[in-house]
Amino acid sequence: MEYSYGDPSYVDHVMRYVGITFRGGTNPNFNNMEAWITKNPYAKTGLYGQCTWFAWGRFYELYGYDPGFTGNGWDCVDELLKAHPNKFERSSTPKVGAVFSGIGKNHVGIVLKVDGNNITIQDGNYDGITNTFEDAKKDWQTNTYTLDYYRSRMGGIVFANPK
């Protein structure tokens, strides 16, 4: 007779109460080929360095699954919400781990920190062009802005916040 101890699904049962867990560290790991090359739909079409390529790769690193977006920067929040309605919700104010889309500017990125009216984000495509993979690995930044300033800069922002 074979004996087992405890709940074999213990981790899954506990994690349903924990919420979203970031994985992948503070900065991108460009050695993670799934995030940046093999699974990234923007890489498959050669769009290295674009904000969409960067946001897809960072999301995959941080959450461990495909965000479900393949469109332009201003479409990414809507596509993420459609792909994962049970995990994300639309908001005008950010939470840590949110994906944001600029409303008036075709741009997308990830919110790493929220501190009062300040947000720290990571995004890509500061040189405004599609790069080689080697150049794209250098074309991203982490910046902190006031939310009011960044809303103005983007012509408005919408967030897909983790639930």
**Tens digit of pLDDT for each residue in 94-115?**
999 999 999 999 999 999 999 9
Burial of 25 by CB count in 10 Å (0-12 exposed, 13-18 middle, 19+ buried)? Answer: exposed
Look at residue 21 in the predicted model and tell me its pLDDT: 54
Task: Note whether residue 111 is domain-resident.
Answer: yes
Task: Note whether residue 107 is domain-resident.
Answer: yes
pLDDT in tens, 16-52: 444 445 665 689 999 999 999 999 999 999 999 999 9
Domain region containing 129: 30-162
> Domain total for the chain?
1
Cβ-based neighbours of 98, under 8 Å, separated by 6 or more? 91, 110, 111, 159, 160, 161, 162
**Percent of the chain with pLDDT strictly greater than 90:** 84
Task: Note whether residue 52 is domain-resident.
Answer: yes
- Give the CATH number for residue 119: 3.90.1720.10
Look at residue 24 in the predicted model and tell me its pLDDT: 58
Q: Yes or no: say if 157 and 100 are a contact pair by the CB < 8 Å rule.
A: yes
Cβ atoms within 10 A of the Cβ of 65, count?
Answer: 12
Average pLDDT, the chain: 90
